[in-house]
Amino acid sequence: MSDVVTLERQGAIAVVRVNNPPVNALGIAVREGLQDSFKAAEADPQVKAIVLVCEGSTFIAGADIKEFGKPPKSPGLPEVVSGIEAGSKPSVAVIHGTALGGGLEVAVSCHYRIALKSAKVGLPEVKLGLLPGAGGTQRLPRLVGVEKALDMIVSGNPISASEALELGVIDELVDGDLTAAGIAFAEKLIADGKGARRTGERTDKLDGIDNAALVAAKRAEVEKKTPGLFSPQRCISAVEASFTLPLEEGLKRERELFGECLVSPQRSALVHAFFTERLASKIDDLPKDTPVREINSAAVIGGGTMGVGIALCFANVGIPVKILEVSDEAMDKAMERCRDTYMMSVKRGSLTEDAMNKRLTLVEGVTDYADLSGVDLVVEAVFEEMGVKQKVFEALDTHCKPGAILASNTSSLDLNQIAEFTKRPQDVVGLHFFSPANVMRLLEVVRGEKTANDVLATAMAIGKKLKKVAVPVGVCDGFVGNRMVFQYGRESEFLLEEGATPAQVDGALRKFGMAMGPFAMRDLSGLDIGLSIRTRQRQTLPAEFKLPTILDKMAAAGMLGQKTGKGFYVYEKGSRTPLNNPELPAILEAASKEQGIERRELTDEYILERTLFALINEGAKILEEGIAQRSSDIDVIYINGYGFPAHQGGPMFYADSLGLDHVYNRICEFHKQHGAWWKPAPLLEKLAKEGRKFADL
Ligand code: T1G
β-strand 377-380 against 363-366: which pairing, if any? unpaired
Which residue's alpha carbon is at the smallest distance from atom 40 of ligand 1?
23
Question: What confidence score (pLDDT) does residue 543 get?
Answer: 87
Number of structural domains the chain divides into: 3
Read off the DSSP letter of residue 363: E
Domain of 376, CATH number, reads: 3.40.50.720
CATH code assigned at 126: 3.90.226.10
Say whether both 557 and 509 belong to one domain: yes
The partner residues of 14 in beta bridges, in order of sequence, read: 9, 50
pLDDT one-digit tens code per residue, 224-240: 988 889 999 999 999 99
The per-residue pLDDT for 267 is 95
Residue 43 exposed, middle or buried by CB count within 10 Å (0-12, 13-18, 19+): exposed
Q: With cut-offs at 50, 70 and 90, classify the pLDDT of residue 535.
A: confident
Q: Residue with the nearest Cα to atom 18 of ligand 1?
A: 22
> Could you tell me the distance, in angstroms and rounded to a whole number, from the CA of residue 655 to the centre of ligand 1?
26
- Asked whether residue 494 falls in the same domain as residue 551, the answer is yes
Question: Dihedral through CA 156, CA 157, CA 161, CA 165, nearest 10?
Answer: -60
Q: Where are the alpha helices (DSSP H) in 526-570?
A: 527-540, 550-556
CATH code for the domain in which residue 613 is found: 1.10.1040.50
Return the closest-CA partner of residue 25 out of 1, 57, 50, 51: 57
**Mean per-residue pLDDT for 102-115?**
98
Residue 283 inside a domain? The answer is no
Q: Which of 24, 26, 65 to mutate to test the pocket of ligand 1 (most atoms within 8 A of CB)?
A: 65
In a domain, residue 650? The reply is yes
State which of 416, 451, 475 marks the end of a domain: 475
Listed in sequence order, the residues at least 6 apart from 63 whose beta carbon sits closer than 8 Å to its beta carbon are 25, 26, 77, 101, 102, 133, 134
Residue 529: pLDDT band by 50, 70, 90 thresholds?
A: confident
Residues 127 and 56 in one domain: yes
187 in active site? no
What's the pLDDT at 1? Answer: 55
* Structural domain contains residue 689: yes
Does residue 188 surpass a pLDDT of 60? yes
What burial letters (b/e) apply to 488-508, b meaning 16+ CB within 10 Å? Answer: bbbbbbbbbbbebbbbbbbeb
**pLDDT recorded at residue 83:** 97
Nearest to 587 by CA among 555, 547, 545: 555
- Please check whether residues 490 and 639 belong to one and the same domain: yes
How far is the centre of ligand 1, averaged over its atoms, from the C-alpha of 640 (Å)? 18
Pairing type for strands 298-301 and 98-100 reads unpaired
> Which ligand 1 atom is at minimum distance from the Cα of 103?
26
State whether 252 and 307 are in the same domain.
Answer: no
Residue 609 annotated to the active site: no
Q: How far is the CA of 288 from the centre of ligand 1 (A)?
A: 22
The active-site residue, picked from 42, 67, 79, 125, is 125
Count the neighbouring beta carbons within 10 Å of the beta carbon of residue 294.
11
Phi, psi (deg, nearest 5) at residue 670? -65, -35
**Is residue 323 assigned to a domain?**
yes
338 and 212 within one domain: no
Q: What tens digit of pLDDT does each residue of 24-71 get?
A: 999 999 999 999 999 999 999 999 999 999 999 999 999 999 988 889
Q: Which of the residues 105, 240, 325, 444 is marked catalytic?
A: 105
Q: Does ligand 1 lie within 6 Å of residue 45's CB atom?
A: no
For 310, half-sphere exposure in the C-beta direction (CA atoms, 13 angstrom radius) is 30
Q: How many helices and strands, by DSSP H and E, does the chain display?
A: 28, 19
Residue 523 structural domain = 482-696
Q: Is the CB of residue 23 below 6 angstroms from any atom belonging to ligand 1?
A: yes
pLDDT at 2: 67
Q: Express each pLDDT in 422-478 by its tens digit.
A: 999 999 999 999 989 999 999 999 999 999 999 999 999 999 999 999 999 999 999
Q: Is 497 within the bounds of a domain?
A: yes
| Neighbour count for residue 16 (Cβ, 10 Å) | 26
Picking from 499, 694, 456, the residue whose alpha carbon sits closest to that of residue 607 is: 499
In a domain, 424, yes or no: yes
Q: Which of 262, 285, 308 is the last residue of a domain?
A: 262
Given this model, what pLDDT does residue 525 score?
A: 84
| Ligand 1: residue whose CA is nearest its atom 55 | 23
Is the pLDDT score of 149 beyond 80? yes
Tell me the pLDDT tens digit for each residue of 280-311: 999 999 999 999 999 999 999 999 999 999 99
Does 183 lie in the same domain as 51? yes
C-alpha 78 – ligand 1 centre gap (Å)? 19
Q: Look at residue 417 and tell me if it is in a domain.
A: yes
The interface pTM score, or ipTM, of the predicted complex is: 0.98
For residue 296, what is the DSSP state?
A: -
Helices (H), 599-659: 604-624, 631-642, 651-658
Asked whether 278 lines ligand 1 (CB < 6 A), one says yes
Chain segment 493-524, per-residue pLDDT in tens: 999 999 999 999 999 999 999 989 999 999 98
Average of per-residue pLDDT values in the chain: 95
Rounded Cα gap, residues 137 and 123, in angstroms: 9
Q: Judge whether 289 lies within some domain.
A: no
Res 161 pLDDT > 70: yes
Residue pair 153/127 in contact (Cβ under 8 Å)? The answer is no
Residue 533 has pLDDT above 80, yes or no: no
Beta-bridge partner residues of 469: 442
* 393: exposed, middle or buried (Cβ count in 10 Å: 0-12, 13-18, 19+): buried
Are 560 and 426 contained in the same domain? no
User: Do 87 and 172 have their domain in common?
Assistant: yes
Domain boundary among 475, 491, 518: 475
Q: Is the pLDDT of residue 538 over 90?
A: no
Residues 341 and 463 grouped into a single domain: yes
Handedness of CA 638, 644, 649, 653 (dihedral sign): negative
Task: Give yes or no: residues 579 and 457 share one domain.
Answer: no
Dist. CA 557–CA 559, nearest whole Å: 6
Name the residue of 18, 20, 23 whose CB sits within 8 Å of the most ligand 1 atoms, as the mutation to test its pocket. Answer: 23
Looking at the fold, whether 524 and 570 belong to one and the same domain comes out as yes
Tell me the CA–centroid distance for residue 61 and ligand 1, in Å.
6
Beginning with the edge strand found earlier in the chain, give each strand of the sheet holding 120-122 in spatial order: 98-100, 120-122, 159-160
60 Cα: distance to centroid of ligand 1 (angstroms): 9
Confidence of residue 615 (pLDDT cuts 50, 70, 90): very high
The CA angle 49-54-59, to the nearest 5 degrees, is 110
545: left (phi over 0), alpha (psi -120 to 50) or beta: beta
248 residue type, one letter: E
Whole-number pLDDT of residue 78? 97
Closest Cα to residue 51, out of 105, 118, 107?
107
* Band of pLDDT at residue 532, cut at 50, 70 and 90: confident
Percent of the chain topping pLDDT 90 = 90
